[in-house]
Amino acid sequence: MFSFLQGKSQNQEISTITASFITEQIKLDGNLIEDAWRQAVHINNFIQREQVVGEAATEKTEIAILYDKNNLYIGIWCFQNDPNTIRAKSMQRDFDYTAEDNIQVIISTFNDGKNGYLFVVNPNGARADLQVYSLKEINMEWNGVWDVRTKITDEGWFAELVIPFSTFQFKNTENLSWGINFERNISAKNEQDTWQGWNQNYTINSLSTAGTLVGINNIGYTKRYELKPYLLSSYTKEATQEPVYPVKYGFDLNVNISPTLKLNLTTNTDFTQVESDRIAINLTRFDQFYPEKRDFFLEGYNQFSFRISHTDNLFYTRTIGIENLEPVPILAGARLVGKVGRSNLNFLSIQTEKLDTIPTTNNSVFRYKYDIGDQSYIGAIITSKINEHFSNLVFGLDAKFSTSNFLGNKNLDVYASFSKSFDDYKTNEKAMALKFYISYPNDFMDQSISFIGLYENFNPMLGFLTRTNYENLRYKFLLTPRWFTSLGINKLLLQPWEIGVYRKPGTNIIETFENQTSPLGFKLKSGDSFVFRFKQSYDNLEEEFELMDDIIIPISDYWMHQKEIELNTYDARKIKLKSKLVWGDFYTGKITNYNIELGINVNKHLNILNTYAYNDIKLPAISVKTYELTTKIDYSLNTRLNLVIYSQYNSLDEILFFNFRLHWIPKIGSDLYLVYNHELDEVKRQLNILRPSISSGAIKVVWRFTF
């Protein structure tokens, strides 16, 4: 394990790492004993971002990079003075890397200060990956093709990564220069070490502060095609019907048109293996937002985004292939993602099948962004949903100015957008939406102010809107000073204000007012945190709404005052707790709400996560209690074989649901899934575990070929 000492070292000022070309074969085993690793250039100048910003890392970390004509290899030496303090809780794919020791590698192949691929590894060899689009915009659901092996010894832990060049998109030039950065998290000390950009205003996602990877020359895609056919055998059984046993097949074909442009084709697309949604109790008068989980839609997901608010978006992929909460088969689809010069091109078109009274429908979106400077852009979007009954088109323009150098080393974002919808190729002046915001997201002070105008006839049928016909002004002000550190406090968590006002356009009628302040909050050096908040809200109901069966909230003006306590333990503990208590006014009565999340790390193979949500609502005519309970048991035999048992109970809907999902990765890029769902309805009236209302099962094989 001392082989790296014979390599070349670099001093603290160096921000460039050089990749070395190799002809010998690298055995992926985490040992790092090949001559190529000894001779490669090593970097070791890691600096603390947490706990003591600017100080040298307390543990030594070394990194070297190799490549051949097809792959990039990254060697990582994570030395630890006391290897017994290494915390590695997980083995499954896409593990919760915030909860344990890990090394993170971010690579910006376009070196544009915005877009990147983040790869995360823990000492057990568990893998996680995501796409990064800006400081706060990420796609956690992306799964790239890459592999890793790790080894733990009495000197620390060591990792060997291989990433095929076909996983990336990059400029087709002879000599490549990529942005790159590394971060090491040492859970026992709650310490975070980075190679570049260790200022606390930045994170590893801040690609404008990354270092540079050089030395990669004359590479391309020797394998331009990736074919992933699947075969599915399944059954579905409803209580009063005979079971059905459909067999289905289809494929995805990915074509690297060039190193910067990728075309994805799909037919008979199937999503049987997708994790189940949590059916949460909704006590608001607005629709609930569910994140996308289907593989085909996940690559480049955020590149299509055109946000109106935190959840509201002109393009929401779950409007495709789902109608009235029921799945609609996808006949075929195509997606083109990539970059030509400074132009970011993203196109998606999906044709869904005719189902009962729902006609076959084309769903298309084109998203364009033109890079300005290192971090800014101007852009446009067009969405369309067209079938024989209607057509819906939306056109939007936006621009964003971003910098990480405001006042020297501060982040600043300024954004503006305008969009308009057309139904049956007609529109009117009220079918539009506007947005403007200024954000100052930094460590000591985080401020933002925004205005949203979403008008009466605006109708993005491929999007998601929580509410319609409003003007919203919002101001957020957070302070996180690093005071009282001698008392074990990492930073205070204070919120002087967060104010939001919704009014009816063209009037002074306020529909909703929200205000919250946090006079006391802190995060300890141990990783535990506490926050106390006051919350105030006003809701002007012009129409009554059904809170739940037979419980109606009448038309009136409502002022509500609530208090909230949030207490969280450090995620890296063997037993972790996240809890929130809210109590106070709720329309015509009172509410007490508990939310508890309890995670138990039995060992690296077995992790259990329990969540419990409880509402005690007291209204003048009735009192009601609701609760949700979910349990997720995650057992990983190794990093390629994982069983998840997920159960949830919802007292309001009287649903008890079980999902069993076995996932085996026989080789990287290929998958076998075994899935079983078991649902029981009206469980308060009659509970018979062996007689489900609906049950279904499937076995699905996806195999990857490259040529």
pLDDT by residue (tens digit) across 585-615? Answer: 999 999 999 999 999 999 999 999 999 999 9
Instruction: Report, as an integer, the average pLDDT of 613-628.
Output: 92
Residue 581 pLDDT: 98
Residue 692 pLDDT: 82
Q: How far apart are CA 409 and CA 418, in angstroms?
A: 30
Instruction: Report, as an integer, the average pLDDT of 182-202.
Output: 93
Q: What share of the chain is helix, strand, coil (3-state, %, to 5)?
A: 5, 55, 40
Instruction: Report, as an integer, the average pLDDT of 559-575.
Output: 96
Q: How far apart are CA 141 and CA 134, in angstroms?
A: 16
- Domain residue ranges of the chain, discontinuous segments joined by +: 3-217, 287-466
End-to-end CA gap in the chain: 37
Structure tokens at 671: 């998958």
Position 8 pLDDT exceeds 50: no
Strand partners, 564: 533, 582
My answer on whether omega of the bond before 51 falls inside 30° of 0, hence cis, is yes
382 in Cβ contact with 358 (< 8 Å): no
Position with higher pLDDT, 695 vs 310:
695
Q: How far apart are CA 610 and CA 599, in angstroms?
A: 6
Instruction: Report, as an integer, the average pLDDT of 168-196.
Output: 91
Residue 655 pLDDT: 86
Residue 685 pLDDT: 65
For residue 227, the one-letter residue type is L
Q: What is the phi-psi region of residue 527: left when phi exceeds 0, alpha when psi lies from -120 to 50, beta otherwise?
A: left
Residue 139 pLDDT: 82
pTM: predicted TM-score of the whole model, two decimal places: 0.88
397 in Cβ contact with 379 (< 8 Å): yes
Give the 3-state secondary structure of residue 543: coil
270 in Cβ contact with 276 (< 8 Å): no
- The secondary structure element, H or E, covering residue 35 is helix 35-39
196 in Cβ contact with 210 (< 8 Å): yes
Pick from 21, 14, 196, 236: which is nearest to 104 by CA?
196
Residue 33 pLDDT: 92
Lowest mean pLDDT among 99-103, 117-121, 374-378: 374-378
Give the 3-state secondary structure of residue 515: strand
Q: How far apart are CA 71 and CA 67, in angstroms?
A: 6
Position 645 pLDDT exceeds 80: yes
Strand partners, 413: 402, 439
- Exposed, middle or buried, 475 (CB in 10 Å: 0-12/13-18/19+)? middle
Residue 561 pLDDT: 97
Position with higher pLDDT, 254 vs 120:
120
Residue 326 pLDDT: 76
Confidence class of residue 268 from pLDDT cuts 50, 70 and 90? confident
For the chain, what percent of residues have pLDDT higher than 90? 66
Q: What is the DSSP string of 573-591?
A: SSEEEEEEEEEEEETTEEE
SS3 for 42-71 is EECCCEEEECCCCCECCCCEEEEEEECCCE
Residue 6 pLDDT: 35
Residue 4 pLDDT: 35
Give residue-wise pLDDT tens across range 233-251. 999 988 778 888 989 999 9
Residue 221 pLDDT: 62
Residue 280 pLDDT: 74
Query: In b/e form, how buried is each residue of 3-18, taking b as 16+ CB within 10 angstroms?
Result: bbeebeeeeeebbebb
DSSP 542: S
Confidence class of residue 691 from pLDDT cuts 50, 70 and 90? confident
602 C-beta neighbours (distance < 10 Å), count: 12
- The secondary structure element, H or E, covering residue 295 is helix 295-298
Instruction: Report, as an integer, the average pLDDT of 127-150.
Output: 88
Q: Hey, which bits of 569-665 come out as E strands? A: 575-586, 589-601, 606-618, 623-638, 641-650, 655-664
Instruction: Report, as an integer, the average pLDDT of 640-648.
Output: 95
Confidence class of residue 222 from pLDDT cuts 50, 70 and 90? low
Instruction: Report, as an integer, the average pLDDT of 311-332.
Output: 85
Lowest mean pLDDT among 219-223, 451-455, 660-664: 219-223
193 in Cβ contact with 186 (< 8 Å): yes
Q: How far apart are CA 310 and CA 663, in angstroms?
A: 32
Question: Is 3-217 CATH 1.10.10.60?
Answer: no
Give residue-wise pLDDT tens across range 13-68. 569 999 999 988 899 999 999 999 999 999 999 999 988 888 999 999 999 999 99
- The secondary structure element, H or E, covering residue 339 is strand 330-340
Confidence class of residue 140 from pLDDT cuts 50, 70 and 90? confident
358 in Cβ contact with 323 (< 8 Å): yes
Confidence class of residue 164 from pLDDT cuts 50, 70 and 90? very high
Confidence class of residue 274 from pLDDT cuts 50, 70 and 90? low
Residue 10 pLDDT: 38
Position 229 pLDDT exceeds 60: yes
Q: How far apart are CA 609 and CA 645, in angstroms?
A: 11
242 C-beta neighbours (distance < 10 Å), count: 6
Structure tokens at 227: 């074919």
Position 272 pLDDT exceeds 80: no
Position 304 pLDDT exceeds 60: yes
Cα angle 396-398-401, degrees, rounded to a multiple of 5: 175
Dihedrals phi, psi of 624, to nearest 5 degrees:
-140, 145
393 in Cβ contact with 419 (< 8 Å): no
CB half-sphere exposure, 398, CA atoms < 13 A: 28
Position 693 pLDDT exceeds 90: no
Instruction: Report, as an integer, the average pLDDT of 380-406.
Output: 94
Residue 398 pLDDT: 97
